[in-house]
Amino acid sequence: MIRKLSSRVVYENRWMTVREDEIERLDGSRGIYGVVEKSDFALVIPAENGGFHMVEEYRYPIGRRTWNFPQGSYPDGRAGDPEDLARRELAEETGLRAGTMTRLGYLNCAHGTSSQGFHVYLATDLTPGDTAREIEEQDMVQRFVSRDEFTSLIRSGAVTDDSTVAAYTLLRLHEDGLRT
């Protein structure tokens, strides 16, 4: 087990904190460990008619547009009810409202460098409405894709978001559990 000896914040903004910890390893050797602290987010799989509603936008850190399931966190590191957040993100990004929201699980992302995790929800019984996208999402587009097209988007590299792919795995496990 690794033991933290000291910690200092090396960078902070309204979305994240980066800290550097002085650590001691199990063998007694010392080192440093960089950790990115970010609040958890919610990811929503809006499903109907044998497919999903997805969003595409430009992702600045990777310098390209990619497709993913709607997702987001509360602003300024605030915490709140994950299902409420999931409903909010679904409506903001797609305009859809879910009659039924099913929790599929919780996962960590980049757990070797970040404290962030995400709650995964399946949204069904969908009704359309207006979007309320944030300023960073002004170039976002949305469309419905079949399950086969979703798989093709992953294979072609149009979906590179690990959280989207992991959430799909939770969905498949959920569906397998319903069949047994």
Where are the chain's structural domains? Answer: 3-37, 41-179
pLDDT tens digit at each of 180 positions of the chain: 999 999 999 999 988 999 999 999 999 999 999 999 999 999 999 999 999 999 999 999 999 999 999 999 987 778 889 999 999 999 999 999 999 999 999 999 888 899 999 999 999 999 999 888 888 888 899 999 999 999 999 999 999 999 999 999 999 999 988 766
Note the pLDDT tens digit of each residue in 71-105: 999 877 788 899 999 999 999 999 999 999 999 99
Q: What gap in Å lies between CA 93 and CA 23, rounded to an integer?
A: 41
Q: What gap in Å lies between CA 22 and CA 159, rounded to an integer?
A: 36
Architecture of domain 41-179 in this structure: Alpha-Beta Complex (3.90)
- Residue that the structure tokens 């990811």 belong to: 43
Residue 13 burial by Cβ neighbours in a 10 Å radius (0-12, 13-18, 19+): exposed
- Residue that the structure tokens 């097209």 belong to: 149
| Spatial CA neighbour of 40 closest among 105, 103, 117, 98 | 117
**Tokens in use for 52?**
């999903």
**Tokens in use for 155?**
């294979």
pTM here?
Answer: 0.91
Q: What gap in Å lies between CA 164 and CA 146, rounded to an integer?
A: 15
How many residues belong to the chain? Answer: 180
Question: Is 142 within 8 Å of 51 (Cβ atoms)?
Answer: no
